[in-house]
Amino acid sequence: MWDYSKKVKDHFTNPRNVGEVENADGTGNVGNIICGDALKLTLKVDKKTDKIIDAKFKTFGCGSAIASSSALTEMVKGRTVDEALKVTNQDIADYLDGLPAEKMHCSVMGREALEAAVKSYKLGGKPVDYSHEEGKIICKCFGITEEKIISAIKQNNIKTLEEITNFTKAGGACGKCKTDLQEILDKVNKFKCEDVKAEVKKFTDLTTVEKVHNIEDVLSGVIAPRLIADGGNIEFVDLAGSTVKVRLSGMCKGCPSAKSTLKNFVEKELQKNIDKSIKVEEVK
């Protein structure tokens, strides 16, 4: 039997914000009832301030899925949509005073629903459906794509097959995909294992090729998925000393909050994952 925190039990037995926002400004659908979990998140946004003034959910799933959805709606209300996007699946778990390792996929589902709902808002309110993800299906039992697995590995620093299952459910049924999962895990973590010494090098001591390699890994694995969820993207252009030059595209290009995104998200993620000296500059 899993050990649930008091907050998890509270949000399961007394879920907040159940239902659907009327005339929602953003609607995100994730999961699949056939596979066991599904979540619909709707948002009401003050378009003058971009603040989320209401959030409701409908969840089909276990107690952890319901509790995670309830917690998420409480966490995002009062935040701007960009501030809400900074909420991670780990933040959801922490808000609930922790989730059993085997139930972390419930917080991941909440995070994905938030990305889909915000993307929906930025696209003018058209619902965004992640319940039928495009891409190569690795786990056929739960319909989990390679892209989703890679994203989970990078965002949560996953090291084992068991953790992949905990965060994505992939491999949790028939197990036939475990060989493929191990190959993906090895591939994603390969650059960390090839040269242990390289991990402890200062950024200034790395070769230009090593610097660029590390930057591109963070851009493609951590930053780009978040921007793509909003209809945008980012491209590495050049490196000048500790200044990373990038080009924004899609909905990010020309966006009024582009400078804030570069400074408060892109730059901070590069500093956190690589080196505090890194600065980001946009190339038009």
Q: Is the CB of residue 235 less than 8 Å from the CB of residue 262?
A: no
Catalytic residue selected from 106, 139, 177, 252 = 106
- Dihedrals phi, psi of 201, to nearest 5 degrees: -70, 145
> Within 13 Å, how many C-alpha atoms sit on residue 217's CB side?
17
Q: Is 174 a catalytic residue?
A: no
Q: Domain coordinates of the chain in residue numbers? A: 6-129, 137-193, 198-282
Would you call 139 a catalytic residue per the annotation? Answer: no
Instruction: For the chain, 284 residues long, give each residue's pLDDT as a single digit of tens.
Output: 568 899 999 999 999 999 999 999 999 999 876 566 899 999 999 999 999 999 999 999 899 999 999 999 999 999 999 999 999 999 999 999 999 888 999 999 999 999 999 999 999 999 988 765 567 888 887 778 888 888 888 888 889 999 999 888 888 888 889 999 999 998 888 755 444 444 456 777 788 888 888 899 899 888 988 888 888 899 999 999 899 999 999 888 888 888 888 999 999 999 988 899 999 999 98
**pLDDT confidence of residue 71:** 96
pTM of the shown model: 0.61
Spatial CB neighbours of 91, under 8 Å, sequence gap ≥ 6: 75
Instruction: Provide the pLDDT for residue 20.
Output: 97
Q: What is the pLDDT of residue 2?
A: 64
Q: Residue 199: what pLDDT?
A: 47
The superfamily in CATH containing domain 198-282 is Fe-S cluster assembly (FSCA) (3.30.300.130)
- Tokens 């056929």 sit on residue: 140
One of 35, 62, 141, 255 is an active-site residue; which one? 35
Is 137-193 CATH 3.40.50.720? no
pLDDT at 34: 59
Query: What is residue 102's predicted lDDT score, i.e. its pLDDT?
Result: 87
Query: Among the CATH numbers 2.40.50.140, 3.90.1010.10, 3.40.50.620, 3.10.580.10, which is that of 6-129?
Result: 3.90.1010.10
User: For the residues of the chain, what is the DSSP string, one character each?
Assistant: -----HHHHHHHHS-SSBS--TT-SEEEEEEEGGGTEEEEEEEEEETTTTEEEEEEEEEES-HHHHHHHHHHHHHHTTSBHHHHTT--HHHHHHHTT---GGGHHHHHHHHHHHHHHHHHHHTTS--EE-SS--S-EEETTTTEEHHHHHHHHHHHT--SHHHHHHHH-TTSSS-TTHHHHHHHHHHHHHHHHS-HHHHHS-GGGS-HHHHHHHHHHHIIIIIHHHHHHTTEEEEEEEEETTEEEEEEEETTTT-TTHHHHIIIIIHHHHHHHT-TT-EEEE--
